[in-house]
Structure 1
Amino acid sequence: MQKIEEDIARSKPGDWRIIFLGDYVDRGPNSSGVIDRLIALQGADSRYIMLAGNHDVEFLAFLDHPSSDGVFVNSGGNAAARSYGVKLNRAKLKTDADLDQVHRKLVAAVPSAHVDFLKGLRHAVSFGDYFFCHAGVRPGTSLDRQDPDDLLWMRAPFLDSLMPLEKVVVHGHTISAKPEERINRIGIDTGAYRTGRLTALVIDGDHRAFLSTKA
């Protein structure tokens, strides 16, 4: 955010939008703090736009109906739970009673404002020649008719496609060592939780640039 704010101050655009591509919870050390920060930004200026990621949707799914087989339990939800003061150890979820106990504690610990924020996340947004979503789109399907599940989970055939799309899709979800620029998409997930490198794409007319934290 500091790098982005410095870039805006330096370039002085007539207007701007900052679009977050989802996955605010799991794996990192402070999911709760991330959501607090995003809520504050959203409340301060409507030009901060937050989209849903599959981990955010799976967190809500766990709060609504706990399962030991879902993404939340098996892909970093223990770190998210810890940020709310709840211990979630997959190896100890041996019975339904164990799962229910963790679920009750987490439901009690997660503020209603966090739940409302996650429920209010959009799946996609479009500006100019660019379409923004968490994961990708299904080639051959109009951008305004995409399945929400594809927007959250898509990898193949989207990642492998060279099919021209209505707009360039900017996405995360699939980790790469550095940002990927293709004719039809730009992937900016550089695996911050394990690399320390969080990447942003700057778009200003025909100009593109990347901002990254250091690994």
Structure 2
Amino acid sequence: MPGIHYLDARGPEGTVVYAIGDVHGRLDLLAEMHAQIVADIMRVRPSDWRIVHLGDYVDRGPESKGVLEFLVRQTAADARILSLAGNHDIGFLDFLARPDPDGLFARYGGVQTAWSYGIMLDPGALRGFAVSSRALAAAVPASHKDFLRALKFSVSLGDFFFCHAGIRPGVALDAQDPLDLIWIRGDFHRHEELHPKVVVHGHTPVSEPEICANRVNVDTGAFASGRLTALVIDGAEKRLLTVEA
């Protein structure tokens, strides 16, 4: 089956799609991005629209709790606002179920997530770690846990396939391994042939949005760069929307 080139790809008829890259605890940037999207919708006046968050809402940045609360409210208020799973989001869930001082959450930004819930987490102090881990599990509202558990791993809209990290080349889109969808890098990034749909993803921070023939990476490292990026798809037109601290 021939693949689809980015330049030829089209969004769903009559629907503008906004795909937002990795947030990582930057509530300020996420709230501003939503405000910019609302303004864009008011300007464009599309028949319909979708907002797709590409995962990694927690860790590293200062306000993971606030980001999750924002997304819980937004997705409950409007079914057109979609949120996909990132590896850090699944890592947070795994930690709440089975705290591991050497796991993804504890080693890669989970200390900041815990602090956003008012918990001081020290993976190097085993006795204190056990206590603070239990305190964190108790501090996270059920609505946040339910939101994380309900995250889907991918969604297709028009000629575009949205996921957190990417896909396994050569595997049908509906047969992708969820672990690949939230973790893959090398094989996906090196693959230059066209996919059945253009893959829109994050997961790997880049200084500028990466637009290739077969994929688009909109992870501009918001937690460190202060810049959050979204790909806007309006029929055959594609453009970028960026907010900065």
TM range (shorter): over 0.9
Q: How does 1:46-57 map to 2 (within 5 A)?
A: 46-57=79-90
Tell me which residue corresponds to 1:209: 239
CA drift of 1:30 comes to 0.7
Q: Which has the higher contact order (CA 8 A, sep 6+)?
A: 2
How many pairs are equivalent? 212
Q: Which residue of 2 aligns with 1:187?
A: 217
Residues 52 and 121 of structure 1 are in contact (CA less than 8 Å); yes or no, is this contact kept in structure 2? Answer: yes
Partner of residue 71 from structure 1, selected from 82, 104, 125: 104
AA aligned opposite 1:142: A
The 5 Å alignment of 1:102-141 reads 102-141=132-171
> 1:67·1:99 contact (CA, 8 Å) conserved in 2?
no
* Separation of aligned partners in 1, 2:193 and 2:96: 38
Question: Pick from 88, 91, 101: which aligns with 2:131?
Answer: 101
Q: Which runs of 5+ in 1 are unaligned?
A: none
1:79-98 to 2 correspondences below 5 Å: 79-91=112-124, 93=125, 95=126, 97-98=127-128
Per-residue deviation, residues 14-49 of structure 1 (Å, max 9, x unmatched)? 100000001111111111111111011111100000
* TM-score of the pair, normalised by structure 1: 0.96
Deviation by residue 1:107-137 (Cα, 9 ceiling, x = unmatched): 1100011000000000000011000000000
| Separation (CA, whole Å) in 1 of partners of 2:138 and 2:57 | 20
Per the alignment, residue 229 of structure 2 pairs with 199
Amino acid in structure 1 at the alignment position of 2:99: P
SS at match of 2:102: coil
For the residues of structure 2 that align with 1:2 and 1:99, how far apart are their CA atoms?
A: 39
Contact 2:65 / 2:113 at 8 angstroms: preserved in 1? yes
1:59 partner SS: helix
Give the corresponding residue for 1:30.
Answer: 63
SS at match of 2:188: coil
Q: After TM superposition, give the deviation of residue 189 of structure 1 in Å.
A: 0.1
Q: Distance in 1 between matches of 2:243 and 2:57?
A: 17
**2:227 aligned counterpart, secondary structure:** coil
Identical counterparts, % of pairs: 51
2 CA distance for matches of 1:116 and 1:191? 26
Distance 2:129 2:73 in 1: 32
Which runs of 5 or more structure 2 residues have no equivalent in the other structure? 1-33
> Which structure 1 residue ranges, 4+ long, deviate > 3 Å from structure 2?
none
Q: Secondary structure at the match of 2:48?
A: coil
CA RMSD in angstroms, aligned pairs only: 0.9
1:111 aligned partner, one-letter code: P
- Secondary structure in structure 2 of the residue aligned to 1:29: coil
Displacement of 1:183 after TM fit?
0.9
Taking the aligned partners of 2:122 and 2:55, their CA distance within structure 1 comes to 24
Q: C-alpha offsets along residues 141-179 of structure 1, whole Å, 9 cap, x if unaligned?
A: 111100000000010110111121100000000011111
Aligned-pair CA distance for 1:60: 0.3
State the secondary structure of the residue aligned to 2:204: coil
